[in-house]
Structure formats: structure tokens, C-alpha cells
């Protein structure tokens, strides 16, 4: 089973890039973030024509997450929204159990964690509170003893090896010590960083800002992650960053990251 995560930064602007990626990489499950559209505006017909079922949690102009599942796999037990705060109206979490004939099920979540800037401030408080809720929910999911993949844009640079210019991010919410500590605390619940498990070297980036020629200077950061429970990590075969998609015309500032799990 090939699982991908991609912050598309507006699905309506990048639907052509997405369909091309689906045809090229043929992922079985795609976790999308930053749709920037309501559910009814999602380009469902184009994605279904490519062979994928669609589950969305949209929001007008902001946020938005989705799960795309390639037939004959199916999604069930779908959760829209992260528990723990009934007042939170931001569309940042969707989860489903992915299953199929002769395939061990995997529970997959698409997550768009808050950016948190400017920090300190209410946006950063929300980021850390969201992390705490995610950790609590992940702990509850682990009790089910299923293979579990928490995939998405975490808006966290885990360490200096995950940034071309770490000194440029020291005051950013994505690199502040509490953000990195929250990420490590989630890992400590029993998760494996899928990409790092397969490739520990520095220089693996998933985001290049549109400003200051970041792409051409390769001044990237790694903020898109797939975290695997022990049962999922036992099935891990490989992981990859689809870096070339950042070079497309009018690209997202993020690129897809994929992990490959054995089916058995």
C-alpha cells in the first residue's frame, strides 16, 4: 500500500498537478491538506475519473483536508474533525480505516496542523493546543492495536538537519523549542517518522517558500511527515519525496511524500 501526503495549497489551482501525480505515482491513499474550498467545490469528478474515491472536510478559503482512496480499496469508519474541542471550527483533520481484499487494513489520517505564527500569541497557543489534542487522540487510536499512519503538514521542522538554513527559522513557530518538543512527544507515544526511518541524511526537504528564490537556492525545510505506529512501521518498505513536482509551473510550495507498506 502506497500512502502519500501533500499540501496542495488550493486544490482548484493544482487539480491538474494532482491528477498528474496520481497517474505517475499511483498512490493507493492520498492525504491532502490546505484545500481552500468547501466540500461541494472540491473537483470530485476529475479525481473520481482518475480512479479514486474522495472524502473531504472542507472550509471556505482556508484549511481543508481530504483522503483519496484508489479502487478497489475502500474507506470506512470516517472521522471528520479532531476530538477534544467542540468549539474548533477549522477543517484540519480527517481519518478513515482503509481496507481491501488481501490487504491488511490501515487507519490513515490527513492532518493540517496550524502554522502558529506569529509566536507568541493566540495562533501559537492554538498550535500547541492542537498538538496536545492530536497526541491524546493518537494515544486512544493506538489502543485499538491497528496499523496507523498520521500523515500531513505538521508545520514543524523537527531538527536542524531538516532545514537548509536552520538559523533563519529560530524565531518561527515551526522551529521554536515547544513546537519541536510537541512533535517529539507525539513520536514518543510509539510512532516512527517514516521518511527518516528510510533515509536519515540531511537535505531532504518538502517545502520551499515562494519568496527569496528558496526553490532555486534549495533553501527548503521538511515539515510534511508520515508517522507510523509500530504495526505500520513493521510493514514499512520505503519512503520518498517527490521533489520534482516543485519545479512545475505554478506549483504548490509543498511536494508529496510517500511511504510504501507491505500488504500482508
If you write DSSP's letter for every residue of the chain in order, what string do you get?
Answer: -EEEEEE-S-HHHHHHHHHHHHHHH--SEEEEE---S-GGGS-HHHHHHTTEEEEEE--SSS--EEEEEETT-EEEEEEES-TT-TT-----EEEEEEEETTEEEEEEEEEE-----SSSSHHHHHHHHHHHHHHHHHHHHHTTT-EEEEEEE-----SGGGBSSGGGGTTSTTTSHHHHHHHHHHHHTT-EEHHHHH---S---SB--SSTTHHHHT--B--EEEEE-HHHHTTEEEEEE-GGGGGSSS--SB--EEEEE---
**Strands (DSSP E) found in the chain:** 2-7, 29-33, 52-57, 65-70, 74-80, 93-100, 103-112, 147-153, 192-193, 224-228, 236-241, 257-261
User: pLDDT at position 264, please?
Assistant: 75
User: pLDDT at position 19, please?
Assistant: 98
| Residue 256, domain CATH | 3.60.10.10
| pLDDT tens per residue across span 102-153 | 899 999 999 999 999 999 999 999 999 999 999 999 999 999 999 999 999 9
Grid cell at residue 89: 471550527
Q: SS3 for 263?
A: coil
The number of distinct structural domains making up the chain is: 1
177-212: b (≥16 Cβ within 10 Å) or e:
eebbebbeebbebbbbbbbbebeeeeebbbbbeeee
Residue with cell 501559537: 124
Provide the whole-model pTM. Answer: 0.98
What's the domain range around 100? 2-261
Q: SS3 for 178?
A: helix
Would you say 90 and 100 are in contact if contact means Cβ atoms under 8 Å apart? no
Rounded average pLDDT per 10-residue block, the chain, 264 residues: 98 98 98 98 98 98 97 98 97 98 96 98 98 98 97 98 98 98 98 98 96 96 98 98 98 98 89
Amino acid at each position: 500500500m502506497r500512502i502519500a501526503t501533500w499540501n496542495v495549497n488550493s486544490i482548484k489551482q493544482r487539480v491538474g498537478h494532482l491528477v498528474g501525480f496520481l497517474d505517475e505515482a499511483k498512490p493507493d491513499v492520498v492525504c491532502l491538506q490546505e484545500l481552500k474550498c468547501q466540500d461541494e467545490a472540491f473537483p470530485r469528478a476529475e479525481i473520481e475519473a482518475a480512479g479514486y474515491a474522495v472524502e473531504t472536510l472542507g472550509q471556505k478559503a482556508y484549511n481543508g483536508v481530504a483522503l483519496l482512496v484508489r479502487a478497489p480499496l475502500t474507506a470506512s469508519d470516517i472521522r471528520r474533525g479532531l476530538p477534544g474541542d467542540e468549539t474548533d471550527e477549522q477543517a484540519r483533520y480527517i481519518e478513515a480505516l482503509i481496507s481491501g481484499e488481501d490487504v491488511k487494513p490501515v487507519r490513515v489520517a490527513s492532518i493540517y496542523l496550524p502554522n502558529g505564527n506569529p509566536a507568541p500569541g493566540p495562533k501559537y497557543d492554538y498550535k500547541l493546543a492542537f498538538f496536545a489534542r492530536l497526541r491524546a487522540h493518537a494515544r486512544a487510536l493506538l489502543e485499538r492495536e491497528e496499523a496507523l499512519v498520521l500523515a500531513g503538514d505538521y508545520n514543524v521542522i523537527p531538527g536542524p538537519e531538516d532545514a537548509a538554513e536552520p538559523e533563519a527559522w529560530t524565531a518561527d513557530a515551526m522551529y521554536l523549542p515547544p513546537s519541536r518538543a510537541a512533535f517529539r512527544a507525539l513520536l514518543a507515544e510509539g510512532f516512527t517518522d517514516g521518511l527518516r526511518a528510510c533515509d536519515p541524511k540531511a537535505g531532504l526537504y518538502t517545502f520551499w517558500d515562494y519568496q527569496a528564490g528558496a526553490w532555486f537556492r534549495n533553501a527548503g525545510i521538511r515539515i510534511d511527515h508520515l508517522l507510523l505506529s509500530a504495526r505500520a512501521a513493521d510493514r514499512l518498505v520505503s519512503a520518498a519525496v517527490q521533489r520534482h513536482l516543485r519545479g512545475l509551473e505554478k506549483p504548490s510550495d509543498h511536494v508529496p511524500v510517500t511511504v510504501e507498506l507491505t500488504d500482508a
